[in-house]
Amino acid sequence: MKALILAGGFGTRLKSITGEEIPKPMAAIAGKPFLEHQINFLKNNGINEIVLAIHYKANKIKSYFGSGLRWGVNITYCEEEIPLGTAGAIKNAERYMEDTFIIMNGDSYAPINLDEFIKFHKSRNSFCTLCLAKINIETLDYGSVIVDNDYITKFCEKEEIGSNLINGGIYIVEPGIFQYIPKDREISLEKEIFPNLSRIRLLKGYIHDGYFMDIGKPETYKKFKSDVLSTIFLKQEASIIDAIERMNKNEINLILIVDDDNKLLGVLTDRIIKRFIINGGDIRGKITQAMITDPVIANVNDEDGINKLLSSGINSLPVVDENKRVVDIRFRLEKMYEESYPIIRGKSPLRISFGGGGTDLPYFFEKYGGAVINATIDKYCYATIVKRADKKIIIDSDLTPEEDIFVSSIEELVYDNRFDLVKAIIKIIRPSFGFELYLHNDVPPGRGLGSSASLAVLLINMLGNIQGVNYSDEKIAEIAYRAEREELKIRGGWQDQYAAIGGGFNFMEFDQDKRIIYPLRLKEDVIHELNSRLILCYIGKDHNSGEVHGDNWEKTFKENEEEVSMRLRIIKENALKIKDALLTNRLDEIGKLLHESWENKKKLGRNISNLHIDEMYEIGLNSGAIGGKLLGAGSGGYLLFFHQPQRRNQLINSIKKNSGEILNFNFESLGTRIWNVKQ
């Protein structure tokens, strides 16, 4: 069973104790944050899966507890950007709760028998069960609860005459509770949800006749602290075994031996007991045999002296009055550092390829050499990555209405045709932390604009940055290529990765030993004129480039190498000619070169073109286009048309009339960019 601790409150009433920088759940009790006492309570009752709902000073809580490994539990963080009340915090944690779960208020403590509580809930077939603390009605300072035959029938305000039963701050609920909590609005569990459940008889009460404390006010915080410290006291008649058991139960490494007047007689710690046993002492003996009788102590009226002793390295310090009666115990607090949990955003441009596609495939360029020319455009894939304190990985994309991936660790990532490229990159880089990844695109993937490679390059940059690693361009391209070609066995070329890395116009050469990227420095007038003579037309049927390239291309190449290599060499030579035309401002030549390359490329395989593509291409040629090509591997996506400027409108109208979609674009001179978000 999982437990959810509501630890996101501001703790306004406790600010006089904690100050502005310490969140209420981190208020120190016997050298430990209050939240640590709650976590230890859950762990000791067999609850190891804990979700912390946090908001105020969340990084301090995450920095202290991390993944929970130190405490032998697995902690998940559910952080609210905007606090939406106690019920809103529960609703926010819905993704983590698949079955019956426990809820604990982050400012109350009731050491109940959880096994009995759970048995009560299950045996009554309860939907929601509240722990009800029985307190002295004479000192009642809370609203009370009326119970009839296990059902909670009424919540009474403090001023009303009710009962001596109050909300104990621990609940067991079924996951069906989420349907009663509206999304995205502030709502109280205690004031709205519980009364509503009570009215429809879905709320039962389990009576706890034992200790209860709410630390939300200075006076109750001090009382709880005093109660915890009193468990550290033992009388001189106790045995060493008693002391060991008490320290284990408290999870506080200290016992003070006192007389009936609370005068300090000695001190025991785990280290003192071990030394006693090593020196031949009997563990069954009295604590007076093992205790240190002259411990370091401080006077209650000497605050400066107390602080000096604690800062000198003493972990725990008994504080006594003038009669040596123990009035307090002070602990050296572990410095509460605040780790950084950065948010990084980025965008990576998509690209259009003018020529050379197919020659960047290894089975061709390793023998004949390859060359491509492409340019990035102002259409992007975007990502935001949020580092988590736990190991959870969450992937959310605009391609689907719901959250896409949620796993507890990298080991749970499996390839299932959902964001497999993202998973492959994560598996290769293996970050040591969890994170949330939010993705969206200007253009859906599979349309021939290199979106997969752009996303890969962006994600590699971001994961490197968040780990403090600055990958070289070559390393980024290598990881992206490995993810697609080796990890996922997807066939494809090299051009897209390098286009997304550097951006702008690039001419690329590939051979068996090296890859050389030549950024082209074109005049602004040339870029603007080229832009004005190009149109992107979406003709439908998104494709998977790996499926198109696949084994068929390589098989066709090997079976008919002479003809295929001849056509690819023409495509390669045309890429060189397009480069020269751009550099010398001979743009009129580009249309014919695009056309010749496309005529050769579509003969490389039956799945590159089809009747619909051929018809749309012919419509373009008859409406003012000089030439063009299908972008990407083939079978669907975007047609790129190079047209006569005077016939642009005619071309666009003809395309739209035949159900084509026009995508307006400009060229982008920059490559992938990432930046840190100020928090």
Task: Mark whether 396 is an active-site residue.
Answer: no
For residues 47-85, one letter each, b for 16 or more C-beta atoms within 10 angstroms of the residue's C-beta and e for the rest, the string is bbbbbbbbbbbbbbbbbbbbbbeebebbbbbbbbeebbb
In 3D, which of 463, 398, 404 has the Cα closest to residue 431? 463
**What DSSP element (H or E) covers 345?**
strand 343-355
* Placement of tokens 């499926």 in the chain: 547
* Placement of tokens 């701050």 in the chain: 169
Distance from the Cα of residue 411 to its chain's centroid: 15
Planar angle of CA 479, 484, 488, nearest 5 degrees: 120
The strand pairing partners of 255, in sequence order, are 268
* Cα separation of the two ends of the chain: 34
Residue 468 three-state SS? coil
Q: Which two tokens stand for residue 401?
A: 């209405």
Residues with Cβ within 8 Å of 228's Cβ and at least 6 positions away in sequence, in order, are 29, 30, 37, 250, 252
* Placement of tokens 């090296």 in the chain: 514
Main-chain dihedrals φ then ψ at residue 265, nearest 5 degrees = -105, -30
Residue of 150, 496, 511, 525 marked active site: 496
Give DSSP secondary structure letters for 252-294.
-S-EEEE-TT-BEEEEE-HHHHHHHHHTT--TTSBHHHH-BSS
Distance from the Cα of residue 33 to its chain's centroid: 25
Check if the beta carbon of residue 673 is closer than 8 Å to that of residue 346. Answer: yes
Q: Which two tokens stand for residue 506?
A: 């690039």
In 3D, which of 588, 593, 577 has the Cα closest to residue 526? 588
* Placement of tokens 């047209």 in the chain: 643
H helices present in 437-560, as ranges? 451-466, 473-481, 495-502, 524-532, 545-559
Going edge to edge, which strands form the sheet with 625-630?
625-630, 638-643, 534-538, 661-663
* Placement of tokens 């045996």 in the chain: 123
Question: What CA–CA distance (Å, rounded) separates 621 from 655?
Answer: 11
Dihedral of CA atoms 517, 523, 524, 528 in degrees, nearest 10, equals -80
Check if the beta carbon of residue 50 is closer than 8 Å to that of residue 121. Answer: no
Active site residues: 496
